[in-house]
Structure 1
């Protein structure tokens, strides 16, 4: 039985966009594991595996059902030690945990304010109602107000990404000469924005833009299998 990955989609099931599920998509490809993707809209996710969790990604591997992208990544590393390593050792695992915290706390929180109305646009009607209600309660303003003036706020994202910009001037991937899970953590977030929104977050000619292109070309074009918005 192949591994099953449940992920998030909008009205078009062929355009999965969860940043966390994309981390695991790339991790599974990195490990060379066969898997089946099952995209679900927001309002159907809680019923997938309520005992495991109510958010995607959810991974089912035989008798194991795992929720949370970090838990899944560490499971894959430990359960399949004969496959290419996601972390290249315990030091790499610790570094990946640091990158995960930076991406989640700094990068994703900036990006969501730049594309939140665009995300609503790609959802089906039931999910649009859910998304607007929950996100407007979270931000204390309308989706339109959250996203307004995003062109002026794009510089904040560039500042947050500056350490990576400088690193990628001297090496092709965060992991060094080849990608590791450290790369997939940020790639998943940028892929989320690429699929959900037409708004350009990074200059394609910059070190980060070129790194994203290298990530998109990984595994025989796997990253390009879902077109941009």
Structure 2
């Protein structure tokens, strides 16, 4: 197989938790494209130096290497035009809204809720890097940033537009899932893989959407290894 993607792993190689990598996995499944997912750690910078990038996902497709999850969506539509992800300019504008909605509205509340769980999931070789880089970014310690009660309140407010859409249709894209759904599901899988926290109640339309997304493409999300599946993961 010539297609491969460098995919962030945690304390166990089966633990794959990057929200951006999850976006691409759903996009590849949507296209029906096989891919080898290569485990990568935060400190494995040399492994992806060929891409002039220090973060994943990095997709290698034959002689092509593509970085950034959204740019990978664009590349896949160009290289494999069947089953488009982004579609015309109007559809792409909608997808870009959901990209920013996931990153700027949903992710902050989820982060405050699961941050120390993510730290626990990180590979031991990466923990010093993760702590140092994130604390510099946040301007405070991980422990100070971690606030599940505040995070869940933030997330609850941020989910209101999504609830409105899901009252109208089973997916953000409508009757079938598409780019908008894939761009959003990544942050929920980030939480599902690294944490046992319940982000939404089972009466929430977002909960029903999440279960539909987990079952999509042969249970792509539901079958992902979680921190709760790793023996001894909560013993540290």
TMscore range, shorter length:
over 0.9
The one-character-per-residue Cα deviations of 1:113-172 (angstroms, maximum 9, x if unpaired) are 221111110122221111111111111221111113x22441221111101111101200
Query: Which SS does the other structure have where 2:30 is aligned?
Result: helix
Task: Tell whether 2:91 aligns with 1:85.
Answer: no
How far residue 175 of structure 1 moved from its aligned partner, in angstroms, is 0.7
Contact 1:2 1:34 in 2 (8 A): no
Runs of 5+ unmatched residues, structure 1: none
Following TM superposition, the consecutive aligned residue runs of length 4 or more in structure 1 with deviations greater than 3 angstroms are: 49-52
Residues 192 and 226 of structure 2 are in contact (CA less than 8 Å); yes or no, is this contact kept in structure 1?
yes
Question: What is the CA RMSD across the aligned residues, in angstroms?
Answer: 1.4
Equivalent residue, structure 1, for 2:53: 53
What's 2:223 paired with? 225
Give, in whole Å, the separation in 1 of the partners of 2:106 and 2:127. 24
Q: 2:202 aligns with which of 201, 204, 215?
A: 204
**Cross-structure match for 2:114:** 115
Q: Quote the residue 1:21 is aligned against.
A: 21
Q: Report the number of matched residues.
A: 227
Consecutive unaligned residues of structure 2, counting only runs of 5 or more, are 228-236
2:35 pairs with 1:66: no
TM-score, normalised to structure 2's length?
Answer: 0.91
SS of residue matched to 2:5? strand
Q: For residue 164 of structure 1, give the secondary structure of its aligned residue in structure 2.
A: helix
Q: How does 1:25-44 map to 2 (within 5 A)?
A: 25-44=25-44
Give CA-to-partner distance per residue, 1:43-100, whole Å, 9 cap, x none: 114532344311110000000011101110100011101x211124331111101111
Contact 1:47 1:54 in 2 (8 A): no
Normalised TM-score (structure 1): 0.94
The CA distance in 1 between the partners of 2:27 and 2:103, in whole Å, is 18
